[in-house]
Each structure stands twice: as structure tokens, then as C-alpha cells.
Chain A
Amino acid sequence: MDRRRFLQFTGMVGASALALTACDKDNDNTGGMPAGSIDLGSGDTGILNYAYALEQLEAAFYTQVVVTPYSGITATEQSLLADIRDHEMAHKMFFGKALGTMAIPALTVNFANINFSSRDAVLATAKAFEDLGVSAYNGAGKLIKDANYLLLAGKIVSVEARHAAWIRDLISNGSFADTTAVDANGLDMAAEPASVLAAAAPFLTSKLWAGNLPTD
């Protein structure tokens, strides 16, 4: 990512508070939504916004990782982390464009508790985000009604899994698919939106509301 794109990105984050009221989902019931929250919406749109939110979080994280490399970073690590930054940016921009006027606004992230100069801290956070992303897409597949969107989610989740495996191996070689990620049936994790959003919440100043997301 070049400096220009990074500045564009941070500019979008700054504008997010103003865009809150632009999130107008037709026919959604926002009763019970806490004031100041962002409604992800309903149906497939809601699921795409849910994915868009996660990709925004990941893109912002890796953007910062690349801008402020941790101490002791190797050339290979720097290069492949920049790749991941680009992949997450591609996912984010794709969802934003695909959703158009139905997109949630740019989110404000909160990375105050991440020590970006520490390799251990950065990789632990990256692992958490990638495993979370994999489990989120795996869990959201069944909530998608349109097979075309399901395929798109499938195209993305395997790339997140490639990331997760590489990050895990950086932390501990051979942990790419250990028992913390894969169960006795050889199945990866799958998580419902509520638990995924709860895990993501500490890293977001913006508050997301999933009350209109499909549940089955």
C-alpha cells in the first residue's frame, strides 16, 4: 500500500461518525438498537455488511502493521504482511462497492491496546483476527440465501484460512491447523455473528448492531 492509499483510508475512518445516519436500511426494525449503534441490516445485505465490518477491521490492522513494522521483522514477514494488507483491503473495498448505498459507514477502530512494536503482540492479534474471520465466514455461510454471495464468501474464507495458517506458523511452526483450530472430525471453527461481533468489539470504537441479521 502506498502512502496515498493509507491517507485515503484514514480519511475514511475519520469521516465515519458523520456517516452514521446514512445507514438507512429499508424495512429494518431498529427497535432495541442502542443509540449511536450502526445497524448491519437484514438478509444477505446484513451478512455482507457483517463481512464488510470484519474486513474493515482487518484492513485497518494490517495497514498499521505495515506502516509501523514490529521490531525484528524479517524481509519475508514484511513482504507477506503487506500482501495480507492488500488482500484485506481488496475484500474491504469489494464489499463496500458491492453494497453501494446499503453499506455501513467506515468504522472507527480502536487499537489502543495493541503494541505494534512487539512481534508477539502483533502476531497474536493477527492470529486472533484471522481465526475469527475464518470462523465468521464458516458460520455465516448458512445465513446466506443467494448462492452467488455464498460463493463469494467461499472465495474469501479460504484466503483468510491461508493467512491464519501462515500467521500461526510464524508464531509456532506446525500450528497451522492444530487442535485449537481444527476438531477431532477435521472441521475448522464456525461461529455465529453474535460471538464474532463480541470478540471484535474491543477493537472497534464504532458500535455494531446485529439485531436484524438472519439467524438461520
Chain B
Amino acid sequence: MNLSNLINTIAAQDGSFYDRTDSRRNAMRSIASVGGKLALTALPLALGSLFQKAYGQTNADITAVLNYALTLEYLEAEFYTKGDASGVVPVGTAAVKAIQTIRDHENAHVAFLTTVIKSMNATPVDKPSFDFTAGGAFADVFSNYDTFLAVAQTFEDTGVRAYKGRAGELISNNTVLTAALQIHSVEARHASHIRQMRWARGANAKPWITGNDTGGIGSAVQASYAGEENTDQASIKITDFVGTNAATEAFDEPLTADQVLAIVRPFIKS
């Protein structure tokens, strides 16, 4: 791409060019403004090395986060694809279309992330082989609708926390950061709807997470809710303004990569 060549040429001649003009971000912005998959496909790879100057994040750092996200999206995509095909969702109800909507989004996320990773000259990770019973903990996941929804809720709430936990690692790349945020809030929309579906079946699960409550699923998924009981944000006590439940609900909390990998490991065979 001519643009990246131009920028690289200038950078080679004048190491302080970016600091003086802040063109790093302007250059990315002009690309981001095109929008959509095509623009991302054309991401100038060489720009990645320039971002390191500002934030210490390399292209490899960013694609590592994207491959982490891709792994989680593979998990969700296959889960909903199998769930829809299994007949576990009651036929003739609105739930069928809702699950298909979510399935389609997760498959779109897989395709999108794969495209972005390739556009950055990195290799997308292979899809793992999954065991959605988690070694028997959810043995009837594709025959018992409530179990299916419980696992769905856990995946969605965990996904929200996973993206949140690594957004900071994308701060140097406006295009990728924005796309990750756009996926992140879709996962939250999914989580809200799945929780409503469980609520409609009698589970005590509001669309938002109260404390570290699993919504009645129990200890098998407790790790996905650990830390959600936090009521302090940036050292400010939110309980000074609202009740404790609302203080926890108003902010979704991040999970580290290690926490997320421990949560999903039982679902991954290889």
C-alpha cells in the first residue's frame, strides 16, 4: 500500500516524525473510516511496527489477542451451531430464531477475526475440538434445554469479560480496538437475551449480573462470575451512590486470559 510505504519512508528519515505530528493515529483513522471487512483486509501491516513507539505493542501482541478471541468465538460458534441442529431448543418457539441469530453472529465473528488476523500477516489458530459436556459436568447440554441455556449464559458472560480484559492490549491500533469493542457489546446483547430466556423459565437471572451470582447455575460456573461483586471503581465507592446490588450490576468486570482459559479448558478436548 502506498500510504504505508510513504509513512515508512518518512519514519526512516525522521524518527521523531510521529511524535511531532501524531500521524500514526491519523493514518489509521483514514483507513478505519473506510469501514468494514474490506478495509481491514487492506490494513497496512508495516504500520504495526510504528505503534510500538507509542505503546510498546507489536503486531504480534495484537494478533495474539485476536487469536485468543478467535478461540472463544470458535467455542461459541460451534456450541450454537450444534445446539440449533440438536433440537434442544423447543421447536415452534421464538427461542429458535434467537439462538440462530446468536449462532450467526458467532460464526460472523469467526470469519471476521480470521480475516483480520490474516490481513496482519499472522496465522489464525485452528479450531479446537470441543466437548460441550465439559467432561460430563453438563452431560445433557444438547438434550436438556435448561442446561443448554445455562452453558450459553456462561459462555456469553465469560466472553464479555474476556474481551474487556484484553482491550487495553489493543489500544495502539484504533481499527482493531474499535472492532473488538463492537464484538464485545454484541456478546453483552447476547448475554442479556440468554439471561432473559432463563428468567422466562424461572431462573433468577436478570439481564445484568448481580454480585457474583451465577443465576442459579451453581458452582460449576462460579469462576465465570468471580470478581463481579466488585463495588469500587477507580477507588471510588459506587455504594456511596446506589445500593450494593446496583453497584455491582452497573459495571461488568474483566477476566484475565489465565482466568478465561481455566474456565474454557474443560470444554476443549484438544
Contacts and interface: CB of A to CB of B under 8 A. Distances in A.
Interface residues of A, number: 55
Contacts of B236: 94, 97-98
A177 B249 contact: no
A142 B170 CA distance: 9
A210 interface: no
Interface residues of B, number: 64
Among B94, B181, B246, the one with the most A-chain Cβ atoms within 10 Å of its Cβ is B181
Interface in B228-270: 233-234, 236, 238, 240-243, 246-247, 249-254
A86 B188 CA distance: 19
Interface stretch (B5-13, B22-30, B122-130, B216-224): B22-30
A166 B182 contact: no
A90 B254 contact: no
Interface stretch (A11-19, A67-75, A152-160): A152-160
Interface string B98-110: 1001101111110
A11 to B, nearest CB: 15
Interface in A83-114: 83, 86-87, 89-91, 93-94, 97-98
Given A186-B186, A216-B26, A154 B164 contact: yes
Contacts of A161: 185-186, 188-189, 192
A183 B185 CA distance: 13
B188 A91 contact: no
Nearest to A166: B207
Interface stretch (B42-50, B82-90, B136-144, B171-179): B171-179
Q: Which 10 A-B pairs have the closest CB atoms?
A: A186-B108, A86-B246, A165-B192, A161-B188, A147-B168, A187-B182, A158-B188, A93-B241, A90-B250, A142-B174
Interface of B: 22, 25-26, 28-29, 32, 36-37, 94, 97-98, 101-102, 104-109, 111-112, 160, 163-164, 167-168, 171, 174, 177-179, 181-193, 196, 206-208, 233-234, 236, 238, 240-243, 246-247, 249-254
Given A137-B181, A177-B190, 12 more contacts: A93-B238, A94-B234, A141-B177, A142-B174, A154-B163, A155-B253, A157-B185, A162-B188, A162-B189, A169-B196, A177-B102, A187-B179
